[in-house]
Amino acid sequence: MDDTVAYEAPMRRALELAARGPVTGGNPQVGCVLVDATGAIVAEGWHRGAGTPHAEVDALSKVSDARGLTAVVTLEPCNHTGRTGPCSEALIAAGVTRVVYAATDPGHASGGGAARLRDAGVDVIAGVLAAEVSAFLHIWLTAVGRHRPWVTVKWASTLDGRAAADDGTSQWITGTAARQRVHEQRAASDAILVGTGTVLADDPSLTARGDGGELLPHQPLPVVVGETAVPATAALHRHPAGLLETGTRDIAAVLTALDARGIRRVYVEGGPTLASAVIASGLADEFAVYLAPALLGGTRLAVGDLGITTIAEARRLAITSIEQLGEDLLVMARPTHHAPEGS
């Protein structure tokens, strides 16, 4: 049995541990196990969110002596000082003799841990279960690798694609189960984007709430795209995560600024104008489409002009999941190819 196969079982355990961590907060979900010379796991750790010990340090804290152990970790140990110190240095100081990891850290500042470990004489094995771990970390790896957040565009519509009746009424197109799933998706996002038109027309709160109306533990930062100031009396000023007014319609610039704040997941919930602009710019990575079994007709489409003039230019999507929520459907889809970003 080669070394790669020998470490697959502990790597799968590390991946299970990684899934316990939060998807929000800017940092990746990472798990780590320490194994001895027989391959037995002697300690486990995972990252619990920004500012808390990283998975490697969490695992190291559970043994009195790590000399001679092997660290099996889902992501290449970091090599920079942020809110916590570099994991590469912690592993070296602890006397770990081998580090096995799955996915390479694409971060300009955080990457390079493997090289630092090798320079210190630590044996490093890379790529164990790389495909599985990379699929698990796909959103985070994509966001960090291209220096902008992952963007999910959400809308709710009737089967004929209408987001509202011609008189403007839209509450409620979907039922309670679908609306609750929206709150769950908000809570799994770092920021929620809305246009100034929606703010002025609907005065949304954009909080993530539970079945009983209670605030969920994580709240996305509301980000208003547009040049019009949010009225002082707007509900968004009372949002528990604060409020970011961008003062611009330049969506690409907004996403760049959010990336600089460590925001990796963005949920677009700003109505047809904003949704259409994001899609037309080639900046949508995923779609969350809630479909109600109803027909409205009329002109209030869920998505407006995308600059498409012929069927050959259609934005083709790959459906990743379909879920029934009460009488409604949630269709999750991703582009099969992108238009050039910022087009």
Cα–Cα nearest to 24, from 148, 186, 189, 269: 189
Catalytic residue among 8, 44, 56, 89: 56
Q: What is the Cα Rg of the chain in Å?
A: 23
Q: Which architecture does CATH list for 3-144?
A: 3-Layer(aba) Sandwich (3.40)
Number of CB atoms found within 10 A of residue 51's CB: 10
Tens of pLDDT, residue by residue, the chain (343 residues)? 456 778 999 999 999 999 999 999 888 999 999 999 999 999 999 999 888 999 999 999 999 999 999 999 999 998 876 666 789 999 999 999 999 999 998 876 666 889 999 999 999 999 999 999 999 999 999 999 999 999 999 999 999 999 988 888 788 899 999 999 999 999 999 999 999 988 998 899 999 999 988 999 999 999 999 999 999 999 999 999 999 999 999 999 999 999 999 999 999 997 899 999 999 999 999 999 999 999 989 898 999 989 999 999 889 999 999 999 999 999 999 998 654 454 4
Give the strands of the sheet with 70-75, arranged side by side.
Answer: 41-46, 31-35, 70-75, 98-103, 123-126
Token reading at 194: 């809305």
Cα–Cα nearest to 68, from 90, 45, 47, 99: 99
Residue 227 annotated as catalytic: no
Domain ranges of the chain: 3-144, 149-335
CATH class given for the domain over 149-335: alpha beta
